[in-house]
Amino acid sequence: MKRRLLEKINNRTATVAVIGQGYVGLPLALEFAKAGFHTIGIDIDATKVKRILAGDSYIVDIPSLELKRVVDSGKLTATTEFSAIREVDCISICVPTPLRKSKDPDISFICASVDEIKKFLRKGSLVVLESTTYPGTTDELIREPLEKMGFKTGTDLFLCFSPERVDPGNKQYNTKNTPKVIGGATPACTELGNALYCTCIDTVHPVNGTAEAEMVKLLENTFRAVNIALVNELLMMCERMGIDIWNVIRAAATKPFGFMPFYPGPGIGGHCIPLDPMYLSWKAKTYDFFNRFIELATDINGNMPYYVIQRVARVLNRHRKAVNGSKILIVGMAYKPNIDDLRESPGLEIYRLLQREGAEVIFNDPHAQSFRDSEGTTIQSMELTPTMLQKQDLAVIATNHRSYDYGLIVKHTPLILDTRNALLDFQSENIEKL
């Protein structure tokens, strides 16, 4: 079975399914299709499926023309029906893995996908999990349930883990040219997983097993979370000491070795950095190991929106105003520049905290045009105009989108708290850095 599947992969006659058509799944499905495979995108969201079939991209990194061209070629299709798995040879699972309110991993989307796969999986198939999760997930949630059905891993079932490394909005690195890590449950599984991804990814790096591959992604993002927490803590310390942390970082970055610049901000967002370290910490506790670095970093980063509110209050107080009753504009709501992704965005928490303090809060984001507040009300982005800016008591720059006319904002806004150093080139008494 391994030899037969390897031959189908090499001559592009294998059919590939990608479960989950979000920021990870759709770009991956597109690359498989462009590599020559008949590819089926599966998603429970009928709206996403409809847009894929129409060649209408909802992912910032995929132009609609490119998507439509591949769909029209017949290489890429989409469906809400998991029964399509009957036709496929290779399956990649790219579903969300959020945290519960208790900060425990929510692996329900993986479990739901596996339940559907079990109904239709053919012997001799390759299944690859890409969803970020804790070490041991591939064995516990996929290998064990499928082996209970009679599949034998490495013989008539081939199972791998390959951590997604999507960076939405990154113009330099995309799915194809970002190196891919793959680890199989057996050497035969690794060989097949490596062969599949080598057809559409420039560089594939095999590792020793699924747990090792699962740990890779957690290390990558824990590294980032800890270093961001470090500079956030230094930001608060330097502010108290009257030192400009941004100038300090810029100067330190001139060192050509031994230093990597990280930057402070109003908090961390996206699906990976706020969540992945907690997955690792949760799993470590089952081994009676407590990650003090992770817990401390999570605490510092999670409290940055509260620090922003403190700074808002101090800025307004110096001008004899209170947060309660002030008109405050949040400039940028996406979790990072030049994308529309609101997942875990600190801007959302800043909005909630300002409302709680009695401020009249509005926001503008040219990419993320609306969001739902805690009561389920849809909040719409407001147009930036001189009149609107002049009516605000304070603007908080929470996301430094490239498309903003910062000259307009500086000219017409009475007070500005810049949490991203977006106004580096402006000198004005109405600007205060975080």
Which are the catalytic amino acids?
Answer: 272
Nearest Cα residue to 417 out of 272, 305, 293, 270: 305
Whole-angstrom distance, CA of residue 247 vs CA of residue 74:
53
- Asked whether 389 and 410 are in contact (CB, 8 A), the reply is no
Place of tokens 């502010």: 239
Structure-block tokens of residue 26: 């759709």
**From residue 367, how far is each of 384, 399, 407, 421 by CA, in Å?**
13, 11, 19, 20
Whole-angstrom distance, CA of residue 131 vs CA of residue 433:
37
Residue 198 CB neighbour total at 10 angstroms: 16
- For the four alpha carbons of 51, 55, 58 and 59, in that order, the dihedral sign comes to positive
Residue 303: partners with Cβ closer than 8 Å, 6 or more residues away: none
Nearest Cα residue to 2 out of 187, 163, 204: 187
C-alpha atoms less than 13 angstroms from C-alpha of 351 in its C-beta half-sphere: 27
Counting beta carbons within 10 angstroms of the beta carbon of residue 376, is it exposed (0 to 12), middle (13 to 18) or buried (19 or more)? exposed
Please calculate the CA angle 219-221-226 and round it to the nearest 5 degrees: 95
Residue ranges of the alpha helices (H) in 20-77?
25-34, 46-53, 64-72
